[in-house]
Amino acid sequence: MINLPDVNKVFISHSGGMDSTLVLLLAIDKYGKDNVTAVYANIGHIMSGDINATKDDAAHMVFNHMSSLIDVNSVIIEDSDFQSVDIHEADMHNMFAKIRDIILLKSNLPVETLPLFGITKKEKDIIDLQRLSVSADGVVQTIDIDAIEEEVANNPEKYSGVVNAYGLGNIRKHIPELLSTVYSKFSKEMIDEAEAGQAPIFNLNKADIIKEYVSRGWEDIMYKTISCSKPVDNLNCGICDLCNERKRSFENAGVADNTVYIG
Query: pLDDT tens digit string along 2-43?
Result: 889 999 999 998 889 999 999 999 999 999 999 999 998 876
In a domain, 165, yes or no: no
Q: How many domains does the chain have?
A: 1
> Distances in Å between the alpha carbon of 82 and those of 54, 58, 94, 154?
12, 20, 14, 42
pLDDT in tens, 134-160: 555 555 556 677 888 888 999 999 999
In a domain, 42, yes or no: yes
pLDDT, the chain, mean: 81
In a domain, 243, yes or no: no
- For helices 121-130 and 181-192, what crossing angle results, to 10°? 120
pLDDT band, very low/low/confident/very high, at 254 (cuts 50, 70, 90): very high
> Distances in Å between the alpha carbon of 187 and those of 20, 82, 117?
15, 18, 10
Domain with 100 in it: what CATH number? 3.40.50.620
pLDDT in tens, 85-111: 665 555 556 667 777 888 888 889 998
Sheet-wide strand order for 114-116: 73-77, 36-41, 10-13, 114-116
In a domain, 132, yes or no: no
pLDDT in tens, 198-252: 889 988 999 999 999 999 999 999 999 999 988 888 899 999 988 999 999 999 9
Cα–Cα distance measured from residue 138 to residue 118, given in angstroms and rounded to the nearest whole number: 22
Report pLDDT for 53.
45
Q: For residue 200, give its domain range.
A: 10-120+194-228
> Distances in Å between the alpha carbon of 148 and those of 72, 129, 133, 142?
41, 7, 9, 11
Number of Cβ within 10 Å of residue 34's Cβ equals: 10
Number of Cβ within 10 Å of residue 68's Cβ equals: 10
In a domain, 129, yes or no: no
In a domain, 106, yes or no: yes
Would you say 258 and 251 are in contact if contact means Cβ atoms under 8 Å apart? no
Beta pairing, strands 73-77 & 10-13: unpaired
In a domain, 4, yes or no: no
In a domain, 186, yes or no: no
